[in-house]
């Protein structure tokens, strides 16, 4: 009875996630009315790179004549979530309720989404079939894009409540969809990819071997644990219960890489905007000109941001202060460590050491394709594939763990 109930729960959650996935895919193919691409691209040559710096790749919609309502994707929402989490950690705003955090994130997502929508609509890539002023149709298109953004947020919330994987499920689907759309926009076909790989066998072998190494590293760091022995004093018994608190070798999973990419894009976009206001400031001009991943300065900046995000997101994932307080209230303790602040310092030190190790490993495995791309044009885009692969691996491992946990209930039976 117990196992059947949880089997039905898993099936129900899976059905909800598949239904939400279907709605999301349909929404990605619903165009905005009266808004079409211009026959001639009026945008400047550097506009595509500026869109990419905002997390919105216009080249992915190269072959699409209509503008999809869900064009903004997850980028504004993810940016808002990341910034609010960082602010919460840096300014120690832990007393903020979850509803307040979500409300502030929604307002920030509106700000990011509005800016991205206005940038897209002013690029010259799109126009309206209606004989109205540009201000009116741009305002209409902006409202449609923001509405699509909140549809995505709503779908992610419903999947977190009743589906599998939470928002990670839709983020993973969005990454896969963007890859497929971009490959189609570039005219890539399966036959063409196979022909290219057969003519560049050494390059293909090196790329495949490197992705396998990445996969093994990610799985190993996700599955390797550092355990703290925790004891509980029982009032009813003279004996103590012993258990373990496990910290993954990579506490942030693949989310740190995704967060680092978003934060790096924000910093680079900020430097470009500051350069347009202060063109004579040498430091700002230098960062705006050489902050891309095609330059050593941009590569070093990204790796520094990645290392910082690995540590910060590990602190977000494992809240040492809350865990230490819960242990103190429950009577749990680490031998030789006083409950409270001392226990918090031990947990935080363990998490920090694990995140420093994983941050160094992630920096190393991404630095190799980035630096190689500076000298060999054949592997210039390999770092983007590696970043996407790491993010997807982390998300898929999280989904697999959740599904395995729910399916494991079938091995248990009720006592009565």
DSSP code string of 150-163: HHHHHHHHHHHHHS
Q: Report the pLDDT value the prediction gives residue 346, as an integer from 0 to 100.
A: 93
For the chain, the farthest-separated pair of C-alpha atoms sits apart, in whole angstroms, at 84
R_g over Cα of the chain: 24
Measured torsion, CA atoms of residues 195, 198, 201, 204, in degrees rounded to the nearest 10: 40
DSSP codes of every residue in 179-195: HHHHHHHTT--HHHHHH
pLDDT of residue 56: 47
CB 16, CB 158: distance < 8 Å:
yes
Q: What share of the chain is helix, strand, coil (3-state, %, to 5)?
A: 70, 10, 20
Torsion of CA 190, 40, 56, 393, to 10 degrees: 0
Please give the pLDDT value at position 43: 40
Contact at 8 Å (CB) between 68 and 30? Answer: yes
Report the pLDDT value the prediction gives residue 244, as an integer from 0 to 100: 85
Query: What six digits make up the tokens of 70?
Result: 């869900």
Report the pLDDT value the prediction gives residue 240, as an integer from 0 to 100: 55
pLDDT at position 116, please? 83
Domain covering 1-186 assigned CATH 3.40.50.720 in the classification: no
Which stretches of the chain score pLDDT less than 70? 1-7, 39-66, 92, 94, 184-188, 233-241, 408-416
Q: What is the pLDDT of residue 238?
A: 47
CATH 1.10.3370.10 domain extents, the chain: 1-186, 202-416
Q: What is the pTM of this model?
A: 0.77
Tokens of 71: 């064009």
Question: What's the CATH class of domain 202-416?
Answer: mainly alpha
């Amino acid at each position: 009875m117990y196992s059947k109930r949880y089997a039905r729960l898993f099936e129900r959650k899976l059905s909800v996630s598949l239904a939400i996935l279907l709605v999301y895919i349909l929404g990605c193919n619903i165009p905005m009315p009266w808004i079409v691409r211009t026959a001639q691209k009026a945008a400047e040559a550097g506009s595509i790179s500026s869109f990419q710096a905002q997390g919105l790749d216009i080249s992915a919609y190269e072959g699409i004549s209509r503008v999809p309502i869900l064009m903004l994707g997850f980028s504004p929402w993810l940016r808002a979530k990341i910034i609010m989490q960082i602010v919460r950690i840096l300014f120690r705003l832990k007393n903020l309720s979850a509803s307040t955090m979500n409300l502030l994130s929604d307002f920030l997502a509106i700000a990011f989404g509005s800016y991205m929508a206005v940038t897209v609509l002013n690029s010259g890539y799109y126009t309206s079939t209606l004989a109205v002023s540009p201000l009116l149709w741009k305002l209409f298109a902006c409202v449609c894009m923001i509405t699509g953004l909140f549809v995505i947020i709503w779908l992610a919330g419903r999947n977190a409540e009743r589906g599998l994987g939470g928002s990670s499920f839709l983020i993973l689907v969005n990454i896969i969809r963007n890859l497929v759309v971009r490959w189609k926009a570039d005219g890539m076909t399966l036959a063409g990819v196979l022909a290219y790989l057969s003519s560049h066998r050494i390059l293909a072998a090196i790329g495949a071997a490197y992705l396998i190494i990445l996969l093994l590293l990610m799985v190993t760091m996700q599955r390797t644990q550092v355990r703290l022995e925790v004891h509980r004093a029982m009032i009813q018994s003279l004996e103590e219960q012993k258990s373990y608190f496990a910290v993954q070798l990579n506490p942030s999973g693949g989310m740190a890489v995704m967060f680092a990419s978003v934060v790096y894009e924000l910093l680079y976009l900020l430097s470009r905007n500051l350069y347009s206001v202060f063109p004579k400031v040498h430091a700002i001009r230098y960062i705006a000109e050489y902050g891309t991943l095609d330059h050593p300065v941009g590569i070093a900046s990204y790796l520094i941001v990645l290392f910082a995000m690995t540590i910060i997101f590990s602190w977000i994932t494992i809240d040492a202060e809350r865990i230490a307080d819960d242990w103190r209230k429950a009577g749990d303790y680490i031998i030789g460590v006083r409950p409270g602040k001392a226990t918090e310092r031990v947990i935080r030190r363990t998490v920090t050491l694990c995140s420093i190790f994983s941050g160094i490993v992630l920096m190393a495995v991404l630095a190799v394709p980035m630096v190689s791309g500076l000298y060999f044009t054949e592997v210039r885009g390999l770092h983007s594939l590696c970043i996407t692969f790491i993010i997807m691996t982390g998300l898929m491992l999280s989904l697999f763990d959740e599904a395995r946990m729910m399916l494991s209930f079938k091995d248990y039976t009720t006592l009565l």
